[in-house]
Each structure stands twice: as structure tokens, then as C-alpha cells.
Amino acid sequence: MLKIIVGAIVAISATAITIAIESVRYNSEGCDKYGFNRHGFDKDGYNKDGYNIKGYNRHGFDKDGYNKDGYNIKGYNRHGFDKDGYNKDGYNIKGYNRHGFDKDGYNKDGYNIKGYNRLGYNKDGFDLNGFDNEGYDVNGLDKDGFNKKGFNNDNINKYGYHISIYQNEKFDPDGYDIDGYDEYGLDRLGYDREGYDEFGFDRLGYDREGYDEEGFDEEGFNRNGFNEEGYNHCGYDKDGYDRSGYDRSGYDRSGYDRSGYDRRGYDRRGYDRRGYGRSGYDSSEYDKDGYDKDGYDKDGYDSFGYDVFGYDSSGYDSSGYDSFGYDSSGYDSFGYDRSGYDRSGYDKDGYDRSGYDSFGYDSSGYDSCGYDSFGYDRSGYDRSGYDKDGYDKDGYDSFGRSLDDD
């Protein structure tokens, strides 16, 4: 109970302190000393950066410079157009100005302010001089005053003959009919009604198939599709090579591309882009895995890590022995080290480095104290000093009796 009361008192005290601090930080109007309320806005509703709760400054623009309608101070929206839909250059999204003309001066129907299209003709089909695309005015007369039949308003043609002549005779005194053609069907310039002369060429020098006297069309290609230089429309000669000497696949007459590689990917030296020849070896005679024709790398080791003598980089063969026949622990295949001793410390004869066998005897059959397996030394006496017969060096046994006493 006491803990609950104490906790309540502490909580009330903390709240009181917080209220006290708040009352010190904010004035009676709810603003701090800088004039901002608890939400960070001043009395006019703007934060310290100058923007209201909707994100606009006192001038009505957001951080990107646009007002609530989406226009900047110059009156353009984010796409660069004003309220009427025109950009700073005065053109709308379709490319026309307020008068309805594009940058070249033509309206959506293709006419300029004077009423002429890009070819120079008005809606009635006449140019600035009053002639249509065939060269005739609204009255059907050309600039010299003749109509399409070749007569002027007095019915006289450009050769001085009245139309009545042709009504009475088929040909005029010059031998031409009312349309200007003679009995052979040629006009005064030697061209027939289709525009070709007696040799079959038109006024531009091309025959009915479109070729000139040398056999080339107006684009400069002959009947086989080649120009004077010998190249077709695609720029290739009869053998299929372009002006640079490469075919459609990019190879020259020798079979190499611009980088110097043939269709199989080898250069003139016989190496591919990675530097390997047709046999799979580079200029240093190593393959892509780094091995020569004998199967050894630059350091002299094969794919298993052994040199030509069968030893690895540490000097050991596949069985784990060096050139002297010893493994990494220093023992040969029989289990002996370079000094001739096995892992137990004995040589091939069964003796250790001190010259004793596993039972403690040397090659003569004596232990380190000089006694054999029967307990006698080299002189034939045991550790007590008696020989096999039980006598010491002086001839006495353990009871003090000599041989002479017998």
C-alpha cells in the first residue's frame, strides 16, 4: 500500500514539474520566446521555414515555387505552360502561338498569314504570281498568255497560226497539228505525246525504263543495280564488299573483320581474342588453364600439382616422399629416418641410438651395466661377482670356500 502511495506521489510530482516547465517555455498565448506554438507555427500560421500547414509561404508559393493553382511567380506550371496553355516562347503544346501559327509561320491547315502553303500556293491553288502548279492562271493562261491548247485569247498559237487553220487542215504550214505534233507524232522539239524522242529518251535524257544513254538511272545505278563505281544501293560491289572492303557480315576479302579476326575468331597470327591459338595454346605455349603441351604450368607443375620428376611444390611425390625417399615427417617407406631409426627409435637391426635393443641389450648381448641376459658380464661374473660355477675372481664361493678346499 505504501509503495502505491509513494508511486502516486512521484507521478503527481513529475506531472507538476512538466506543467511548470511548459508554463515557463510557453506564454499565456501558447507561444515560446520565438513566437512559435507547440506545433511549431507562429500566430499567422507559419513555421520557422516560413510555410503554413498546407506547405505555402506568405506569398502563396510552395517549396518548389508553385502556388495552389500550380503556377510559379512568372505564371508557368510545372510543364512550362501558362493559364492559357502557352510556354515562355508563346507556343502551346501543339506548337502554335496565340494567332494560330507555328514557328515556321504556318497554321494547322498549313497556310501562312498571307494565305500560302509551304509550296507557295493559296487555298485556290495559285502562287504569289497567280499561277497554279502547272503554270496557268485563273483564266487558264500561262505567263505568255497561252492556254493548255497553246492558244491565246485571240486563238493564235505561239507560232503565229490561227486556230481556224487546224479546223480546215490537219497540219499547219510548218507540218504540225493543233496539238503541236507532226505526222510522225513528234513536237517541234522532237518529242512524242509521251515525252520521248525518236531514240526513246525523254527531255531529261532517260528512256521509258528510266535509264540514260550510258545505262544509268537518275540515281546513278544501271540495270544491274550498280553505279559507275561498281556499288549497289546498299553500298556493296558485285562480290559483296563495301567501299571499305568488308562484306555484309563485316569481313574483308581475306576473311578478317575490322578488329582483325576471322569467322572462327582467330587473328592473322592464329590467336583468338583471349590470346589462344587454334591448338588452344597462347603465344607462350600455354592453354587457357595455364598448362603447356606437356601438361605443365609456368612453374613446372601438372594439374595434379607435380613436376616432371613427380614431385609437388613442397618436394614430395604422389606417395608423399621426397627425392631422397623420405616423407614430411622424415621417414622412408620402410619407416626409418635419415639416421636409420624407426619411429620407435630403433634401427633395422633393432638397436636404438645408444646401441641397445628393445630388451636393453647391445649387439654383443650386454645391457648398459655390462651384463648379458643371464646376468654375467664379459668376464663371466654376475652382479655379485661370481661366475657360473659360483666362484669369484679369487676362486671363492659365497661361503668363502675355494676350489682347493674340495
Model pLDDT, residue 6: 46
Percent of the chain with pLDDT over 70: 93
For the record, the C-alpha cell of 51 comes out as 510555410
Residue 207: is its pLDDT beyond 60? yes
Mean pLDDT of 126-152: 95
Could you tell me if 105 and 96 are in contact, meaning their C-beta atoms sit under 8 angstroms apart? no
Query: pLDDT tens for residues 271-311?
Result: 998 888 887 888 888 888 888 888 898 888 998 889 888 89
Q: Tell me the pLDDT of the chain averaged across its residues.
A: 90
The residues, any chain, with a CB within 8 Å of residue 15's CB and separated by 6 or more, are: none
Least confident of 155-164, 276-285, 347-356, 397-406: 397-406
Model pLDDT, residue 4: 54
Could you tell me if 306 and 317 are in contact, meaning their C-beta atoms sit under 8 angstroms apart? yes
Query: pLDDT tens for residues 302-314?
Result: 988 898 888 988 8
Query: pLDDT tens for residues 49-60?
Result: 999 999 999 999
Model pLDDT, residue 11: 54
Chain-centre distance of CA 195, in angstroms?
A: 58
Query: pLDDT tens for residues 19-41?
Result: 555 555 788 888 999 999 999 99
Chain-centre distance of CA 126, in angstroms?
A: 57
Residue 9: is its pLDDT beyond 70? no
Rounded CA separation 254/36 (Å): 84
